[in-house]
Amino acid sequence: MARSRVAILIMGVVLWCCLTTPAKAEYMKYKDPKQPIPVRIQDLLDRMTLEEKIGQMVQIERKVASADVMKEYFIGSVLSAGGSVPAPQASAETWINMVNDFQRGSLSTRLGIPMIYGIDSVHGNNNVYKATIFPHNIGLGASRDPELVNKIGAATALETRATGIPYAFAPCIAVCRDPRWGRCYESYSEDPQIVKDMTDIIPGLQGNVPTDSPKGVPFVAGKNNVVACSKHYVGDGGTTKGINENNTVIDWQGLLSIHMPAYHTSIMKGVSTVMISYSSWNGIKMHANRELITGFLKNTLGFKGFVISDWEGLDRITYPPHANYSYSIQAGIHAGIDMVMVPYNYKEFIDGLTFHVKNNVIPMSRIDDAVRRILRVKFVMGLFENPLADNSLVDQLGSQEHRELAREAVRKSLVLLKNGQSLNRPLLPLPKKTSKILVAGSHADNLGYQCGGWTIEWQGFNGNNRTIGTTIVAAIKNTIDPSTNVVFKENPNAEFVKSNNFSYAIVVVGEHPYAETDGDSMNLTIADPGPTTIRNVCGALKCVVIIISGRPVVIEPYLASIDALVAAWLPGTEGQGVADVVFGDYGFTGKLPRTWFKTVDQLPMNVGDPHYDPLYPFGFGITTEPTTRQSDDNPFLSISSYFN
Provide the 3-class DSSP secondary structure of residue 166. coil
Catalytic residue among 178, 191, 200, 310: 310
How far apart CA 285 and CA 232 sit, in angstroms, is 12
Radius of gyration of the chain, Cα coordinates, nearest whole angstrom:
28
Tell me how far the alpha carbon of residue 613 is from its chain's centroid.
Answer: 32
Distances (CA, A) of 346 to 61, 299, 323, 338, 362: 10, 29, 16, 15, 18
Note if 528 is an active site residue: no
Catalytic residue among 516, 520, 574, 580: 516
Instruction: Characterize the bridge pairing of strands 415-419 and 564-569.
Output: antiparallel
How far apart CA 603 and CA 599 sit, in angstroms, is 8
Cβ(184)–Cβ(247) under 8 Å? Answer: no
DSSP 625: -
Q: How large is the angle between the packed helices 325-335 and 346-358, nearest 10 degrees?
A: 70
Provide the 3-class DSSP secondary structure of residue 620. coil
How far apart CA 188 and CA 152 sit, in angstroms, is 14
- Note if the bond before 33 is cis, omega within 30 degrees: no
Cβ(242)–Cβ(184) under 8 Å? Answer: yes
Q: What is the 3-state secondary structure (H, E, C) of 245-258?
A: CCEECCCHHHHHHH
Provide the 3-class DSSP secondary structure of residue 438. strand
3-state helix, strand, coil in the chain (%, to 5): 40, 15, 45
Tell me how far the alpha carbon of residue 41 is from its chain's centroid.
Answer: 30
Provide the 3-class DSSP secondary structure of residue 598. coil
Alpha helices in 26-145 (DSSP H): 37-47, 50-56, 67-73, 92-107, 137-143
Per the DSSP assignment, residues forming a β-bridge with 58 are 340
How far apart CA 140 and CA 199 sit, in angstroms, is 11
Note if 516 is an active site residue: yes
The H-or-E segment that residue 281 falls in is strand 280-281
Residues 6+ apart with CB under 8 A from 425: 635, 636
How far apart CA 264 and CA 174 sit, in angstroms, is 13
Q: Long-range CB contacts (< 8 A, 24+ apart) of 195-199?
A: 195/141, 195/261, 195/262, 196/261, 196/262, 196/265, 197/144, 197/146, 198/137, 198/140, 198/141, 198/146, 198/149, 198/171, 198/173, 198/262, 199/171, 199/173, 199/230, 199/262, 199/265, 199/266, 199/269, 199/271
Catalytic residues: 310, 516
